[in-house]
Amino acid sequence: MKTSELRNLTFEELQKKLKEARQELFNLRFQLATGQLKNYKKIKEVKKDIARILTVIKEIERASKATGGNK
């Protein structure tokens, strides 16, 4: 997922995407441990997606704090 796409989402949608991505990472790690994972690159991609989502969330929080408004 691209950062520009993430910036168009609301705070609540980002929280939902983050939860989904973390669940996907958990499942991939479980598959890795049980020897069922075929695409090892997927773990790296999901980790980067999580980092992107967290970055956009922090940007929103900082902007909200700077303006004194709510998220």
Q: How many domains does the chain have?
A: 1
What pLDDT is attached to residue 32?
A: 96
Residue 59: inside a domain: yes
Q: What is the CATH number of the domain that holds 51?
A: 1.10.287.310
Residue 16: inside a domain: yes
Residue 69: inside a domain: no
What pLDDT is attached to residue 66?
A: 86
Are 71 and 64 in contact, with CB atoms under 8 Å apart? yes
DSSP the chain: --HHHHHTS-HHHHHHHHHHHHHHHHHHHHHHHHT----THHHHHHHHHHHHHHHHHHHHHHHHHHHT---
Query: Where in the sequence is the domain holding 31, given as residue range(s)?
Result: 3-64
| Average pLDDT by stretches of 10, the chain with 71 residues | 90 96 97 95 97 96 83 53
Residue 70: inside a domain: no
Token output for 43: 């773990």
